[in-house]
Amino acid sequence: MTSRWSRYCSSLPCNQQQRPASRTVYVGNKHPHDEEVFIPEIYPDNKIVSSRYTSWNFLPKNLFEQFRRVANFYFLCVGIVQLTIDTPVSPVTSILPLVFVITCTAIKQGYEDWLRHKSDREVNHREVEIIRDGHLTTTKSMHIKVGDIVRVKSNKGFPCDMVMLSSADPEGNCYITTANLDGETNLKTHCCTIDTRRYVHEDDFLKLTAFIECEHPIADLYSFVGNLTIVKDSGEHIVKPLGPENILLRGARLKNTPFIYGCAIYTGQETKMALNSNTKVTKFSRVERRMNTFLLIFLVILLLESVFSTCMKYWYVFRPTVGQPWYVPQIEIDAQVTVRRVFEDFLAYIVLYNYVIPISLYVTIELQKFVGSMFFAWDKDMFDPGTNERAKANTSDLNEELGQVEYLFTDKTGTLTENDMQFRMCSINGKRYEELGGMLCETYPAGNAPNPVPVLSDEMETFLTVLVLCHNVRVDHPNAADLGASTMYSYGGFDYEYQASSPDEKAFIEACRRFGVVFHGTHDDKLEVTFKGEMRRYKLLHSLEFDPTRKRMSVIVQNENDEIYLLCKGAESAILDRVIEGDKSGTLLHVNEYAVLGLRTLVIAMRQLEPEEFTKFDQMLSDARKSLQDREQKLAEAFDFVERDFQLLGATAVEDRLQDNVPETIQALLTAGIKVWVLTGDKEETAINISHSAGHFSCEMNELKITQQQSSLDCAELIRKHSSTLENGVRCGEKFALVIDGASLAYCLIEHADILCDLCLKCSAVLCCRMTPLQKAEVVKLIKNSKTNPVTAAIGDGANDVSMIEEAHVGLGIMGKEGRQAVRNSDYAFAKFHFLMKALLVHGHFYYIRIANLVQYFFYKNVAFITAQLFYTFFSAFSEQTLYESWYLMNFNMVFTAFPILMYGIFEQHLKPSLLMGNPKLYRKISRNENMSIQNFILWNGTGLWHCVVMFFGSLFLLGEECSLFSDGKMIGNWSFGSIVYFGCLVTVCLKLCLHIYYWSLPIWLSFAFSAFSYFVGTAVYNSVLWPEFFSDHNYLLYVWNTVLTSGSVWLLELVLIVLALVPDIVYRAYKDITMTMQLGHQRQMECDSSLIPLRQLSYEETRKFIFPYVTPKSSLQNIHSNQNRPKLIQPKFTGRSQKRKHVL
């Protein structure tokens, strides 16, 4: 309690001090002895709070949140009005439904929050081990303080964010999995500083005096800047830089290491996991926006009806020809017309007509979306047995938006492709090589057979040395002990299992192993590699990690001869400009050839460092890593100093195969009217080739390119030129595809975003290559905010796709091999790209049709129900007399008509899923929010008005001459007339829903049965009991309903009026079904006709051009048309334009 009060007091503006640029954490909470007065900084405790409410603030906070909704606040106001004025209907009719809605929502939210409290309690009370006063003690996780030394055992989670101090591993390493943070299941290696790894017992930490300077908490999981300062007994300060590899985050779990010690630096709500748990920006669907518009329209209608009725009342009463009715009390006749009296009458009409606003609309939609999202996860067709992953809906608010997508932005690697890299080719010193049958073979451009390389040359050894050393791969041995680093050798390396965060690096290491160059891991701070059985050891001096800006990675190693080398790999654009030695033109030619084949390429280079040069760089790097301010910039300067004057060794080419059914999926999306854009970081040639093989680009498209532009002016001129070309070509029926790279896009977005957007919108397909993650989001935003305001969707699998996933209207994540950050930040996720077709064409279609018809039906049935009250005022002298008894008003929306439309919204399937999958064009019929258009809104509510007119005036016509409907001559009165109109209206709106149902499942049947049962049984009980005053202040319906239903004339009247009212609906349903059947039949006929391509005889030259690339050299072209001597066709080499490539091995 004291700590809470002190934190509260310190948070007050009068007590707040200027926050330092960084925080200082004393290891083991040992405060410095050289300071006379030490005031420790107050940090939050390690208690996790994910709940929204407490026991004392649940009621006021929840009510406040619920009444922020317009509909709830409106009905609250109506209830208050009914309690304050002489209301024409009982206040229960508004208050009871409102209480029901508020209670249901509060129970749902309270239960969800109770689960959060339960989860928090489990985490906060988990036992942990900490060192205090040199002794290892056990305490609860919530009691950990910043500076405590925590011991974590194998397979346990880290209770807070810690800087690693030591490990059971003699090398000071530990292995963790971060699946709870980013979804990555592969083990990651973290390490401590060399100076602290000897502290492996609790007594050892009594000798340690150190403090940590680090940045304040930030949400970035992969960024950390800090220094560890160790104070020697002599007073000497030893400063060691700390980076992301030294920090262990809450949510991660220790693996393959008996134990570690760490110092807590971020606790509780300041941990990176907690900072990443903040709710995302709320997205709203088009249906929800249009629904709010409809609510505003009905509010305006309600006000107009109330104003009109109020004016008509006073006009009617004060007409000279009418006079004062005998039944009006004299006090009301003599009363003057005051503003208050007019306002009270106006409010009375508001109460009378307020049922045109459906109070249960929000609750029904929430239930419909919540249950509907479960079907997305339960879909067996979207379950991937290979990864054992099923589809996942992270939100239910955007279900219907899946049926409105107009633009799809997709990543390439891991989304369109498998992200399973296989080494295929390489270029070494200007010579081509490829892997055939596990052997490295030299290839020749003349088409001769590849020649296996029996012995590795010096150039090849050097090339493979870079591949086998320049990486962050970890070696596991299946028979090794607990430690992650293998302590058992495998001569051929085939017993090893390589763990890598990058699929490219794993492909390189496995390819080297097949060529006889085996990486054995790190032992005694040395990288061990065998070349055909000969062991070589390299000391790793520095590892310069890859980053998107440099687009390269380097390591600095020292061989057994004490020679220092920098080994580098990266994009050709990031390395070739820094090369001073080697065959640049030949290597670049091979890189472009590999890119045309759809292969991913990297350039390999190295340089030898002189001791003096390395010493200077080592000092620069050390200073940069110790810096707490502008560390990234200083590191970039140090990297730039050493990564230059390269010797070019060659290039690599790895294949990333397309996922199954990608071309079919993209073609279906294009047919559905969805424009597909590919946004990738790959080079231009590779991206273009993948676009062709994936069906994104077609052979009839003309390619327009905005690439390699050097200025904004050049970009503008090229855009205008392409726009002119496109306009002329479109008139001739031509299609165009646009290719733009990241560098040119940067110029275009600054000053020419509008004309670029116009050009892109007119193209059939757009490919953006060499893109940064931020540029992907900018492209999505460009189209999202264009003139047409289309619905956009973005799909990706990696952390670099998160920005565009969050920017798009609908974010889609692929459960791939680059972690789960995309899945965590997406709205919907699944394992394979081709599941997207089912997600959009089937689930999206169903979601949209269900919710659109549900919203329209809610407004329709209220118009059909309550408009009769407006008609009735003309026949009641505008006397504010209600037509319906309070029982009817209260239960119409909440009970009698609630469940059928809810079941419709959950289970309806107006077309078979197979039909939607086979006819993507059907998706176009619901685009641009078609079913929620103003035309459909008028059609639905016009139908409701027609049904009300038939029910009200039809009943009035029968009873207008004061005729008796009973054999004993009894007459019917106001409540009998209202009951007749009510029953006809209730049956009509239910049958209207039946005409929209195409899939009669058991829940739908049961919902209609419940409605009928609740109406007949509930009304029979209500009108058969003389209720006490505390329950009802009147008994207007006492035996009225029972008496009315004994008349055969009433039943005949209801039958005739219901049939008459539904005739237009029946005709429209028949017309719609016939039209749909004819359209589907015509479409199938068109597809059959298009599959029959007319053939013509080819000339000799045409035949020669067609078949020459596929005939063997021994075949004779003169015998092409001979049936007896056909040329022998051979399998072509892979070109990258085929979904499933076959390789000649």
Residues with catalytic roles: 411
Quickly list DSSP for 33-96: TT-SS--PPP---S-----S--TTTHHHHHHHHHTTSHHHHHHHHHHHHHHHTT-SS-THHHHH
- N- to C-terminal Cα separation, the chain: 73
Question: How far is Cα 43 from Cα 411, in angstroms, rounded to an integer?
Answer: 41
Rounded (10°) CA dihedral 984, 985, 991, 997: -170
Question: How far is Cα 107 from Cα 120, in angstroms, rounded to an integer?
Answer: 20
DSSP symbol at 384: B
How many Cβ atoms from other residues are within 10 Å of residue 604's Cβ?
28
Question: How far is Cα 269 from Cα 824, in angstroms, rounded to an integer?
Answer: 19
Asked if residue 857 lies in contact with residue 993, where contact means CB atoms within 8 angstroms, the answer is yes
Phi, psi for residue 721 in degrees, rounded to 5: -65, -45
How many Cβ atoms from other residues are within 10 Å of residue 491's Cβ?
10
Quickly list DSSP for 951-1017: HHHHHHHHHTT----STT-----HHHHHHHHHHHHHHHHHHHHHTT-----HHHHHHHHHHHHHHHH
Question: How far is Cα 715 from Cα 252, in angstroms, rounded to an integer?
Answer: 47
Asked if residue 345 lies in contact with residue 384, where contact means CB atoms within 8 angstroms, the answer is no
Beta strands across the sheet bearing 226-231: 23-26, 210-214, 226-231, 237-242
Q: Which of 474, 455, 603 is nearest to 516 (CA)?
A: 455
Question: How far is Cα 362 from Cα 855, in angstroms, rounded to an integer?
Answer: 10
Helix (H, G, I), strand (E, B) or coil at 13: coil
Q: Which of 227, 223, 205 is nearest to 148 (CA)?
A: 205
Task: Tell the residue number behind the tokens 């009315």, with chain if given.
Answer: 1044
Task: Tell the residue number behind the tokens 């390396």, with chain if given.
Answer: 493
Strand partners, 148: none
Rounded (10°) CA dihedral 450, 456, 460, 462: 170
Asked if residue 900 lies in contact with residue 993, where contact means CB atoms within 8 angstroms, the answer is yes
DSSP symbol at 252: B
Q: Is the dihedral of CA 77, 81, 84, 88 positive or negative?
A: negative
Question: How far is Cα 759 from Cα 727, in angstroms, rounded to an integer?
Answer: 10
Residues 6+ apart with CB under 8 A from 57: none
Asked if residue 678 lies in contact with residue 691, where contact means CB atoms within 8 angstroms, the answer is yes
State which H helix or E strand residue 130 sits in.
strand 127-132
Quickly list DSSP for 299-313: HHHHHHHHHHHHHHH
Count the helix, strand and coil residues of the chain and give each as a percent rounded to the nearest 5.
50, 20, 35
Question: How far is Cα 891 from Cα 97, in angstroms, rounded to an integer?
Answer: 8
Question: How far is Cα 897 from Cα 915, in angstroms, rounded to an integer?
Answer: 31
